[in-house]
Amino acid sequence: MPKLTDIFPELPGVYIMRDKDNNVLYVGKAKVLQNRLRSYLNPENPRIRDMVSYVDQVDYIITSSEMEALILENNLIKQYKPPYNVRLRDDKTYPYILVTKERYPTLTVTRRMEEEGEYFGPYTSTQALRAVIHVIRRRFKIRSCKGDPSRFRNACLNYHIGLCSAPCINDSESFRKQYLESVKEAIRVLNGNSKEIIDSLKEEMFQMAAEMNFEKAALLRDQIWALEKVTEKQYAVSDRKIDADIFALFSLKSKYTVVVLFVRRGILIGLEDFDIENPGEEDILGAFVTAFYRNGNPPPSLILVNQEIKDKQLIEEWLTSRSQKRVEIKHPKRGDLKKLLDIAEKNAMERFSQKIVNIDDPLKSLQEILGLSKIPEVIEGYDISNIRGKTAVGSMVVFRNGVPDKSSYRKFRIKTVEGPNDYAMLQEVIWRRLDNEDWGLPDLMLIDGGLGQVGAVKEVLDSKGLDIPVIGLAKREEVIWFPEGNNLRLSRRSQALKLLQKIRDEAHRFAVKYHHQLREKELESSLLEVPGVGRERMKRILSNYPDLGMLKDIPVEEISKRCSIPKNVAENVKRWLETL
């Protein structure tokens, strides 16, 4: 790490740690930048020491407050996706069902709590959720159109196929009373009181089967599954009608699992677990809670955690400002809330144990499935990333015993291939990789692609006289391809397939990340050619808009004001972006 002196101010802000190749390793915030950065001089935590060993440069941005630093930190983490920051792998948000507050309420699926009405969720299975919406509309004939239904003169198709009672043509007080009763019944189902409707659907399913109408019976079976899927984990965990998200972190050595329980109205409605790899934070749980809500997951009024969070008050203020209601974070030591936390901790420990026990199973399964002479302890994954042949790069990721070995990752900028030719680019990457004999050889090579990509790699291996097993895993179809031209489709539940998908997706992520970094550097260099943009103005533009692409949708006046540049220069920047 570079020598830390008094060059860092005693002010709040955000710091950006980069390696010798200018890649962003970690983004952090600080109430006092100088104090925070000095703490990295002799870190006691081995995880932090490992990260610091790669740091070559530290940039910083001063902010007016610690809250502004937190907001900027979140934006930069979303932009750069640093490897040592805690992030949700797919940055997922969860869907809710909204019953709107209108004269004739409607049921919709949403991921934002912005509209007035009653919300149910979050739900972890989107497929089951949409099926439940269909069942409820079919059963209670609740409209799906938006806005005032009286603006329509005629009933839509949903009315004619039995999915809507058509308030657009039946607007009377008696009809409205009946409609609102149907909405109340639908809400009862969403609150978990679905036994009556499930029993009715089962009776109808058996009747359809008896009449040899198996297609209709299968449809009813799927609807029953959806209702059971959405309500199967719904049971009372508190006499108090509380809304809470409960976070429990469990760790062993350098492995971490977080379980999140979703409790609404005192009912446990869902559970999710997450693995955290290679975190650079000291406060892992606090960083995870921030990451969980970073992308728009609306927080309830109460958040429970099984460890004290360092920036508890700051995170509370940030969540409160985002949700327009007071949000509290608690670490209960006794009472009913502690019992809820105990449930989360038990689940975290159980899921962690399952993953540790089963870690070798996918490798043994791969050996048998692929007919390998030994367990593939070392697997290398490869991918190519480019835009029509421009800024082409390749990636190599390494998994040892089913776990990523990030210190062995390598990236390649394509040197010999011009134009869009993924096969030739892949061959160049493999040639260059094999020329580095001190890296050792893998037990298996996994290529992101199909038969063509696998064949291209096999040609290189043959020319080198190497007998390294190589396979491809094509996206969407998730089919394993062999050099001989045959393929194999594994069960979606297969642990071996999940491991291959993880390696393939990691190679893709690493390649895309490097491609974006190079692309961004090219854009920054090109930005200096825009009339009126020098280095100082470029710094101001990039500090306000790290992703230059976002400028396309921002008015010239706003760019000019935020970046302190003349309006005509902002117009030049916009015109430059349109030519890319």
pTM (2 decimals)?
Answer: 0.50
Q: Which comes out higher in pLDDT, residue 91 or 402?
A: 402
Q: 98 has which bridge partners?
A: 108, 119
The answer to whether position 197 is within a domain reads yes
- Same domain membership, residue 56 and residue 102: no
Model confidence at 360, in pLDDT bands (50, 70, 90)? low
Question: Same domain for 371 and 350?
Answer: no
107 and 67 in one domain? no
Amino acid at 59: D
**4 in a structural domain:** no
pLDDT at residue 435, as a whole number: 93
126 and 213 fall within a common domain: yes
Q: What is the residue range of 39's domain?
A: 13-80
Does residue 434 sit in the same domain as residue 539? Answer: no
CATH number at residue 58: 3.40.1440.10
Q: Are residues 383 and 502 in the same domain?
A: yes
234 has pLDDT over 80: no
Q: Categorize the per-residue pLDDT at 229 as very low, low, confident or very high, splitting at 50, 70 and 90.
A: low
Mark whether 472 and 533 lie in a shared domain. no
Q: Are residues 374 and 510 in the same domain?
A: yes
Out of 322, 355, 388, a domain closes at: 355
Write out pLDDT tens, residues 308-333.
Answer: 998 899 999 999 988 778 999 999 99
Out of 355, 375, 392, pick the residue that ends a domain. Answer: 355
- Considering the domain architecture, whether residues 479 and 371 belong to the same structural domain is answered as yes
Task: Reply yes or no on whether the pLDDT at 347 is more than 50.
Answer: yes
pLDDT at 495 (0 to 100)? 84
* Residue 45 pLDDT exceeds 90: no
What average pLDDT does range 350-362 have in this prediction? 63
Judgement on whether residues 464 and 541 belong to the same structural domain of the protein: no
CB of 262 within 8 A of CB of 268?
Answer: yes
Angle made by CA atoms 443, 368, 480, in degrees to the nearest 5:
75
Q: Is the pLDDT confidence value at 68 over 70? A: yes
Decide if 491 contacts 478 (C-beta within 8 A): no
Per-residue confidence (pLDDT) for residue 25, from 0 to 100: 92
pLDDT, position 92: 66
Kindly list the distances between the CA atom of residue 384 and the CA atoms of 22, 83, 170, 567, in Å, as whole numbers in the listed order.
21, 20, 59, 40
C-beta pairs of 450-458 under 8 Å, 24+ apart in sequence: 450/474, 450/479, 450/481, 451/481, 451/485, 451/487, 452/423, 453/422, 453/423, 453/426, 454/481, 454/482, 454/483, 455/423, 455/483, 456/423, 456/424, 456/426, 456/427, 457/382, 457/426, 457/427, 457/430, 458/483
Q: Name the pLDDT band for 456 (thresholds 50, 70, 90).
A: very high
Total number of domains in the chain: 5
Q: Can you list the positions of beta strands (E) in 80-178?
A: 96-100, 107-110, 117-120
pLDDT at residue number 238: 58
- Give the domain CATH number at 326: 3.30.420
In this structure, what DSSP letter does residue 470 have?
Answer: E
Same domain membership, residue 367 and residue 321: no
Q: Do 224 and 277 have their domain in common?
A: no
- What is the model's pLDDT at position 357? 46
The pLDDT confidence band at residue 193, using thresholds 50, 70 and 90, is: confident
**Domain with 477 in it: what CATH number?**
3.30.420.340
Whether the predicted pLDDT of 42 surpasses 50: yes
